[in-house]
A and B are shown apart, each in its own frame.
Chain A
């Protein structure tokens, strides 16, 4: 089975901190994604990457950046965390055969 692992289930950070959310997949998938999930809004795409060092903005990229130095790892970076970035963050990877596989999510609270 494909595995997508997010390094933290819960994080609490202070306003203004730089925050790194890590995601690792074990199936050599090219495409990886970061979504944000908020009640009543569903999942919204922040950034995605279709290859090492390649990235594309999603629907809500403001306040975020990403890094993909190795194929298996895709990091989401909050340059200066703000309270409106308190949310559940979901990472996913995809291939044509298995479709999307999601990680378990990181619930980030910014105080």
Chain B
């Protein structure tokens, strides 16, 4: 069965600093991988997805992620954090069959001035 591990339940950065949120996956088949963002009191919004095309995936709001098969990783990065990036971020892998998703436990990104 697929699984996802997000390292760090909380990550703190200063405004303008690099954002790096870590995600490692376990999958018996070539994975479809996703990053979602959740702002307070809202549902999940798709940031980006990897579907076996280019290994470097660009998403919305300046985020990108790189699929590294050898490291079974799909880390999310942004060169320069904004205050508006403060939210909870979830990594997910799509399971075969009925397209269910298995989520990581989430990483809360805190951005300080």
Is B one of A's binding partners? yes
Contact B103 A42 (CB under 8 A): yes
Please give me the residue from chain A that is nearest to B43 by CB atom: A102
A79 within 8 A of B: no
- Total A-B pairs in contact (CB under 8 Å)? 52
Least distance between B36 CB and chain A CB atoms (Å): 8
- CA gap between A86 and B106 in the complex, in Å: 19
> A76: CB under 8 A from chain B?
no
Smallest CB separation, B68 vs chain A (Å): 22
Can you report 19 A-B residue pairs in the complex whose CB atoms are below 8 A from each other?
A9-B41, A31-B98, A35-B103, A43-B44, A43-B90, A43-B103, A44-B103, A45-B100, A48-B98, A48-B100, A50-B98, A58-B100, A100-B34, A100-B101, A102-B36, A103-B43, A104-B42, A105-B42, A105-B43
Residues on B lying within 8 angstroms of A by beta carbon are 9, 34, 36, 41-46, 49, 90, 92, 98-106
Residue ranges of A at the interface with B (Cβ–Cβ < 8 Å): 4, 9, 31, 33, 35, 40-45, 48, 50, 56, 58, 90, 92, 94, 99-100, 102-105
